[in-house]
Structure 1
């Protein structure tokens, strides 16, 4: 019998990349009602399919890859540490729409996730920091955020999301039951 990860089977790396049984949790939701103004923390928000989050000033074009932004909640403490701060950075200061805990967001790149019961996001790429991080976090803010900027997403299926909602990978394999 051949080794199970060679030949016609998936390679070990491909198998490992496809294995993500953990679930995450929405810890924070933020909206930008006006460009360049502080984000407003909300307990729930409505996402419009292939569009945007209601109440957020951004109106990306249909089919856009950056309709929503996510950041790793655990990154708040890391960024604060890089800046020599004692307490984690508040999520709104980092200008992302969702802070998610318990799930390595980078592992979600090019995958679909379900938030709560109905919302499905296509995770489209990395959300690199911009020069606004220097304004918001002070000198070194841009570099403190490098590698911790989060991800961008396309809203494949809209609906209501709430703080506390579970975030899970959508199984797209033929045997998947999601």
Structure 2
């Protein structure tokens, strides 16, 4: 059986690194997020101190990620000046990297390696948190759900960089 390749694999190596700007953890499902400066990412489980760490191991939604640029788009669509990242209920805020190009890619933040799986669609709570039109403003800008492939410490300011598999690097290194 031949493994299907992701068409983005060819281009992922050209993504410029981004930066980790914000980390938030929830002790329970509907609890408010607590901002932290550093956290241990636990492989196949989630972020230490976040309620998801005790959920289904190996799921594709161990960590949620949104970009500063997506937050700015949401602010634009809502006509507001600033949205606190905790309001959006995502664990990590990054900047300077195209999140849509990260989908189905492996990437590193600090010592940890993640894999972006599904889009993180806004839930109906965003209507209450952001006001009328909150869900519509976030459509297409809700971020990504990720799993942790390799644990490690992640810290504010860490670089967010694509981890292109060696076989992909070899396949395209001479052609591009």
Q: What TM-score do you get using the length of structure 1 for normalisation?
A: 0.85
Change (3 A) 1:167 1:137: same
Q: Which structure features the higher share of helix residues? A: 2
Shift of the alpha carbon at 1:60?
Answer: 2.8
Which residue does the alignment assign to 1:71? 66
Give the TM-score taking structure 2 as reference length: 0.86
Gaps of 5+ in 1: 1-12
Asked if residue 80 in structure 1 is aligned to residue 71 in structure 2, the reply is no
5+ residue gaps in structure 2?
A: 1-6, 171-176
CA 1:17–1:157 in 2, change beyond 3 Å: closer, same or farther?
A: same
**Is the Cα–Cα contact under 8 Å of residues 78 and 88 in structure 1 kept in the other structure?**
no
Alignment partner of 1:161: what SS?
strand
Paired with 1:49 and 1:15, the residues of 2 have a C-alpha distance of 23
1:66-104 deviation digits (Å, cap 9, x = unpaired): 00000011122211111111x231111100000010000
**3-state secondary structure, aligned to 1:80:** helix
Query: Does structure 1 conserve the Cα–Cα contact (< 8 Å) formed by 2:45 and 2:62?
Result: yes
Q: Describe the SS at the equivalent of 1:74.
A: helix
- Using CA pairs under 8 Å that are at least 6 residues apart, name the structure with larger relative contact order, 1 or 2: 2
Q: CA deviation at 1:174?
A: 2.4
Supply the RMSD in Å over aligned alpha carbons. Answer: 1.8
Q: What per-residue deviation string (whole Å, max 9, x for no partner) do you get for residues 8-67 of structure 1?
A: xxxxx7686344230000000000112212211110011111101111112331211100
